[in-house]
A and B are shown apart, each in its own frame.
Chain A
Amino acid sequence: MDRIFRRSHRCLPVVAALVATHSPAFADDIQIKVGDCKSGVNLVARDAPLSKVLERLAESLAFELDDEGRADRKVTLNLTGRGPELITKLLSPHERFMVAHARDPRCPGQQRVSRLWLFSNGQANAVRKDAPPPSPPSPSAPVVKRTPVTQIGTPEQLRANEERSRQLKQDYDIYVNKHGKPPPGEEEEAARP
């Protein structure tokens, strides 16, 4: 049962992201420009619902969003920063949230946001009735209890991988053109010399 809930719960932000991508209603209210490793991300929002801003950010920065809070206050702002820094600027001090980081493959030595949990802060009342009580934030990301799987690629996943490959190749070429040499690449393993 818990697994079923988790799966259906995971659908929601994705569905929302897909709808958001194709909805022109707020297209002009939120602008996100992803710059290079030095300049970071510029976020401009004008009287836009916070939930929509987060969905657009999750889409642009490719992180997973667990929005349990649904605190839909409207925001008007112009912020610039790298992913984790930008999230902090956007949500502090009004929201209760937690961020999981991962190495940023595009920017050696930098971190990207891999997942954002937004918890109910008591002001909002839109928490789904079937949702478990939110956990308080902790210094590190919570252990995600998930059964290990072996996953055979679906046709959709294979096509997504091909598209991602093309994008990675373009990014690689951009780097080479700019720096005159290949990117240093991720370290093979933490233990590699």
Chain B
Amino acid sequence: MNSTWLTRRTGAVVCIASLACLLTACGGSSSSEEEAAPNVVQKASCGTGDSPETALQGQVPAAMRAAGFKGFSCNLQLVGQSKNEGGSWQHAFFVDKAGHKCSYYDSSSASAGRTQRGVAVIDATDSAHPVATTFLNTTAMIDPWESLKVNERRQLLGGVNALNGNGGPEIDLYDISGDCRSPQLLTGASVGLAGTDQYVAAVRGHEGNFAPDGLTYYAANLGSGYIYPIDITNTTKPKLLTQYVTSPGRVHGLNISDDGNRAYLAILGNGLANPQRAAGSPPNNGLQILDVSEVQARKPSPQIKVVGQVMWDDGGGAQHAINVMIKGKPYVIHADEAGSGGNNAAGWKAACDMNLPAWQFARIIDISDETKPTVVSKLMLEAYDPKNCAQVLPDLDGRSSFTYGAHYCSVDNRLNATTLACGYFNSGIRVFDIRNPLRVKEIAYFNPAGTTTQSPGSNHNRTGGWVAGGPDWCTAQVKLDAASGTLQTMCQDNGFLTLKFTNGVWPFPETTTPQGLQN
């Protein structure tokens, strides 16, 4: 290595970074100190036939876990289930021209006890009797992690090789334009290889998303923190376009604007209470907006620029971001994957000791000025409020890894969002009225009963994770269907679920759920 060159380079970077730090430290930044009172979202009001939560909003108390958690419900009832061998992180969905309602969810890479590895294809046309029609087990589909997505415009199902969260260069694309119950493989090619008339880079998958026009798949690697857009204009010959490493944190999930010129990135960093956080360092977890217009325009050697960002101290592990419009105003809905201290017992305690949230939640960010994205709302549950730490921490005795907290969220219609549905670790599926983004209200929740035997394809099976009778991990996208008043999703131990709204809480009069606009 040319150490002199590296030293000189590092010096230059530090000089620039120091200038930013100088401005920050001397009062030149746009920092704003948080209000002391955390923003707990208004609880749902349950109706007849419900099994409402018995303690705090989002909490499954220790005694219920020990006795075998039987589940909670509020304005949502289970109407159909297809458990199979359990699932992993993601759920995608599509309705074909014949009216078949299809769902797709991934499963873990584990092989022990498995007969059906890969992505489960669910025919959910009959809500009460969803059934698996096949399992996709090409290279990327064995473990696409969070990258499994559908593009409605080109009627594609796709994902990248994300084996155990840090896979390889393959992208698998399937044609679902015919019978969505039987996806047809278009490619399983590796991208970025030398001598193949494309940008050359060694890449690995983890997360990703289609651009809305379906001509680009933006894959993301969390391990080293980069995006790698892939030209899929020719769906049988995907080509890598570039590789962009993110800063100040590592990219996790992302969404692309409708014109393809902006990328909304969840930038993973550490909260203020995380022992890994460098003391005195500025926040490095949050939302970053990139100008990807040169990628969209297919310019040679496309340059990607940072347009704006907002980073916060009271959360970590940024998971993903959705660009939406609420009453004509542009927002991003962002969910973290860790609280302020990280995902282990020491981190929860550190956060509680600092009066910071130990578990994560979604927040709504006003991007009317994309150079100054502004957090306007936090969707914290009661159980995640630091003032309740003493009541909640005993629930997690002996646990580590993910416990409470949000993971993935979805809206009814990105162009006119009224409803937000999020999957939570241990707190189930929860649905919110976001018509007033400053005063979000919970309208329903469903937390499935704990399983008593392990589902062999669940990623919940890990040290500090699954325990018999304990609450599930609901981590996947939620499909809201206004016409039937239902939602479809996947929880890792319980598999595919169809839930029906009750007591007239949803849909709202102005709610619509057009295909392809639910992120």
Contacts and interface: CB of A to CB of B under 8 A. Distances in A.
B229 to A, nearest CB: 14
A167 B247 CA distance: 10
Contacts, number: 249
B166 A161 contact: no
Contacts of A59: 11, 14-15, 18
A62 B10 contact: yes
Contacts of A1: none
Given A114-B279, A151-B283, A164 B13 contact: yes
Given A11-B25, A35-B3, A172-B245, A163 B13 contact: yes
A63 B17 CA distance: 12
B57 to A, nearest CB: 22
Interface string A165-193: 10111101110100001111111111111
B34 A152 contact: no
Contacts of B201: 173, 176
B223 A186 contact: yes
A126 interface: no
Contacts of A150: 31-32, 34, 283, 286, 310-314, 375
A158 B373 CA distance: 13
Interface string A99-138: 0101100000000001100000000000000000000000
B48 to A, nearest CB: 39
Contacts of B281: 64, 114
Interface in B311-355: 311-314, 317, 337-338, 340, 342-344, 354
A188 B373 CA distance: 26
Contact of A161 (B6, B272, B306, B338): B306
Interface of A: 7-8, 10-11, 14-15, 17-18, 21, 32-36, 42, 59-60, 62-64, 100, 102-103, 114-115, 141, 143-144, 146-154, 156-165, 167-170, 172-174, 176, 181-193
Interface of B: 1, 3-4, 6-7, 9-34, 164-166, 201-204, 206, 221-226, 243-248, 250, 272, 276-283, 286, 288, 305-314, 317, 337-338, 340, 342-344, 354, 356, 372-375, 400-402, 459, 462-465
Given A34-B6, A149-B34, A159-B16, 8 more contacts: A7-B25, A102-B276, A152-B29, A152-B310, A153-B308, A157-B29, A174-B1, A189-B402
30 contacts: A10-B280, A14-B22, A36-B1, A60-B11, A100-B278, A100-B279, A102-B277, A114-B279, A143-B354, A148-B33, A149-B33, A149-B313, A150-B283, A150-B313, A151-B310, A154-B23, A160-B13, A161-B246, A161-B288, A162-B306, A165-B306, A167-B10, A167-B13, A174-B1, A185-B166, A186-B225, A188-B166, A189-B402, A190-B400, A191-B465
